[in-house]
Structure 1
Amino acid sequence: MNNRLAHEESTLINFRHYAPDPKEHGFRWVDIKQLRFSAESVDDRELLAALIGHEQFRDDYAGGGVLPDGPRHGPYWLRLITPALYESIGEEKAVQILQNWSDLLRDVPTELEADLQQEVFARLAAADSIHYLGELGDEAIHDWGRVHDYFHEFVLIDRSAGRITLIVAADD
């Protein structure tokens, strides 16, 4: 399945670019990676396994970008992430998690709110299924994985579009 996932595009929403005072929003951002999958019928667990095996998943989200042979994913050791760790959640819960995270800001600028609506919340609404990677615990944290204050990861599967979207919302 791995060779049937094709990376389409990536988008980064850096909150600092929207604030009159960049210090106001610290180092908060949302990274969105979109990959296409073939129309063949595969279940969500197979798609999650293919995503975990894809080079775009090898991103520590700490400035180094995607490392095709990298051993890390976000704050975690890649080898410890499996499809079984993802919880299937509904749109309402995903929106609540993201709104609680973004509401840590005092005032979300209008332009940022519009971009989040278009790039994140509209994708959540269009997804056939949403999977959330919860906290994996201390044993899964890699050698310098504590650089993120918050790390929220969602995998959205949109079968009609043949697209899997990886959304990471974090602070560092």
Structure 2
Amino acid sequence: MRSMLTHEGSTFINFRKYRFQDPRSPAFRWVDIKRLRFPVKSVGDTELLAELIGHEQFQDDYAGGGVLPEGLRHGPYWVRAVTPDAYEAVDREKSDRILWEWANRFEVVPAGLATDLRREVFDLLTAAERIYHLSELGDEAIHDWGGVHGDFLEFVLIDRSAGQITLLVAADD
């Protein structure tokens, strides 16, 4: 079955390219943003989430393997364990707080990184009409080597006026 979603592009922010006070702070921290287009006259949020989960861009282990069209892993989870019901609707303030706390966990991020995060991440959150946060799925959902991620935060942003759904993953590995 052909997906209604069309991948438009991706952005990757690697914390290691910024100068931190403590060189251990950025470790292997990053944000991956995948933007997909959908028809403006479209289905509801649950159906959009299901389309995203079924899209090949979702089949990414975020551990160096990249997108595998027939992949079985999504971050630390088996793809089969991720369903639309696993996403909780959150407001912009909560998503902002979760992401800023994660980004600043070890020390305040450098000014250049803060600017890039505002432009590439937080402006998307502001524009989104709906924001969904992937809940913890439990041990049974974690795949055979899924423990490589220290933190794995995932948000799905829906902007119906732009016909765009964005998969935003922030992680430590």
1:4 aligns with 2:4: yes
| C-alpha deviation, 1:22, in angstroms | 5.0
| C-alpha deviation, 1:31, in angstroms | 0.3
Work out the CA distance in 2 between the residues paired with 1:101 and 1:111.
Answer: 17
TM-score by length of structure 1 reads: 0.96
SS of residue paired to 1:157: strand
What does residue 167 of structure 1 align with?
168
Amino acid at match of 2:135: G
In the alignment, is the contact (CA less than 8 A) between 2:46 and 2:84 conserved in 1?
A: yes
Q: Summarize deviations over 1:3-33 as a string: whole Å, max 9, x none.
A: 2100000110000011257543100000000
Equivalent pairs, count: 172
| Superposed structure 1 runs of 4+ greater than 3 Å apart | 20-24
What does residue 105 of structure 1 align with?
106
In the alignment, is the contact (CA less than 8 A) between 1:33 and 1:167 conserved in 2?
A: yes
Query: Runs of 5+ in structure 1 lacking a partner?
Result: none
| C-alpha deviation, 1:40, in angstroms | 1.6
| 1:2 to 1:47, Cα distance in 2 relative to 1, 3 A | farther
For the aligned residues, what is the CA RMSD?
Answer: 1.3
Q: Summarize deviations over 1:44-89 as a string: whole Å, max 9, x none.
A: 0010000000000000000110010010000000011100110001
What does residue 120 of structure 2 align with?
119
Work out the CA distance in 2 between the residues paired with 1:74 and 1:24.
Answer: 22
Q: Summarize deviations over 1:90-149 as a string: whole Å, max 9, x none.
A: 001101110111111313111100000001000000000000001111000000000000
| C-alpha deviation, 1:2, in angstroms | 5.0
Amino acid at match of 1:16: R
1:81 aligns with 2:107: no
| C-alpha deviation, 1:37, in angstroms | 0.2
Amino acid at match of 2:57: Q
Taking every aligned residue pair, what percent have the same amino acid on both sides? 63
Work out the CA distance in 2 between the residues paired with 1:73 and 1:41.
Answer: 25
Query: Which deviates further from its counterpart, 114-123 or 102-111?
Result: 102-111
